[in-house]
Structure 1
């Protein structure tokens, strides 16, 4: 681990009257991949795209009559750096595990249920394909903010590939049963 790695620290305050404002800021920061150190204090790796996105969040905080402080942390001690890296890896690993769970508990079961119902229609395959695309977009977002190679990525990639295989098999069965009939 290198001590010359820089971090972006954001400390913010939004009006307490509306939870909507707090949730909106929290959601934006989580979407960026922020690691919360405590309430309204988060850290991100110092990278140009992250800085630009963080500036947009700060502008939104200001629009809400909130305030924010922004710091660049250099020379972070090794044990503190390890704590931060472990936090980022844990967040990404959790998201990969959620993707695996989504595949196993929803996607796989949906195809199994449609087979049980004998609902072999092109409309159903289209709905399931949309679910697969949602999973792929989710995976892409997680990978984009997995800056420190969290465990679980390979498992999530394999589960999404299994989803694709199951859908292709289901589509082949639909075509075999329905073919070109309207």
Structure 2
């Protein structure tokens, strides 16, 4: 079915799963704007199909209003992404309806905004946890066993690059200015500082002694 435009009063009823949704803060939603809504159906006997579509929509940063109903802000790149997801749904033997929601009421807009903020805040928190519980501990462990080698430093640097890419992706889909961004940035910067100190020690204990 072709993409349509839905105006005020056409937003789906509030789903039960949003009534108890945790939020990071309660602030007024941004100025009015359009939203992209995808409603899809894939073969019920194919968990692979369900997961494949879910994965693609989450990569875009989509917020699930309810099962198989996903919303995104109306942006050119996201509209293109939604169209690609529709192609995926069709390839998997499913069907979809793609709508543009305009002039949605304040209650629906607040649900969308807070849903996106909660989603992004959770991702920032996961980055912070990864820094504190894995990256920092890894360097501490290598220092404990005095494993000052270039190979180990290079491996840890690859982990840092993964953290940077992860943070960039989360920031790229944080359209509603969620809490946690500054802390995540600080933690990744701290990881870089710790790695630079470790690399300096590796140099002093190897090449620096030549």
Give the TM bin, normalised by the shorter chain: over 0.9
Residue 88 in structure 1 maps to residue 88 in structure 2: no
Choose which of 21, 40, 57 in structure 1 pairs with 2:49.
Answer: 21
Which residue is 1:167 aligned to? Answer: 195
Aligned-residue offset at 1:179: 1.1
- Structure 1 distance, partners of 2:58, 2:128, is 20
Supply the distance in 2 between the matched residues of 1:130 and 1:2 (Cα, whole angstroms): 38
Matches within 5 A, 1:50-69: 50-69=78-97
Give unmatched runs, 5+ long, in structure 1.
Answer: none
Confirm whether residue 122 of structure 1 aligns to residue 162 of structure 2. no
2:31 is aligned with 1:31: no
Query: How far 1:17 moved relative to its partner?
Result: 1.9
Structure holding more helix per residue: 1
Structure-2 separation of matches of 1:93 and 1:64: 32
Q: What value does the CA root-mean-square deviation take over the aligned residues? A: 1.3
Q: Name which of structure 1's ranges 15-24 and 30-39 shifts more when overlaid on structure 2.
A: 15-24
1:122–1:174: 8 Å Cα contact kept in structure 2?
Answer: yes
Q: Shift of the alpha carbon at 1:4?
A: 3.4
Q: 1:145 aligns with which of 155, 162, 173?
A: 173
- Give 2:71's aligned residue: 43
* Residue pair 1:34, 1:44 contacting (<8 A) in 2 also: yes
**Runs of at least 5 residues in structure 2 that lack an aligned partner in the other structure:** 1-28
Aligned length: 182
Report the TM-score when normalising by structure 1: 0.97
Runs of 4 or more consecutive aligned structure 1 residues displaced over 3 Å after TM superposition: 1-4
Give the distance between the partners of 2:119 and 2:129, measured in 1 at CA: 15
Deviation at 1:16, TM superposition (A): 1.7
TM-score, normalised relative to structure 2: 0.84
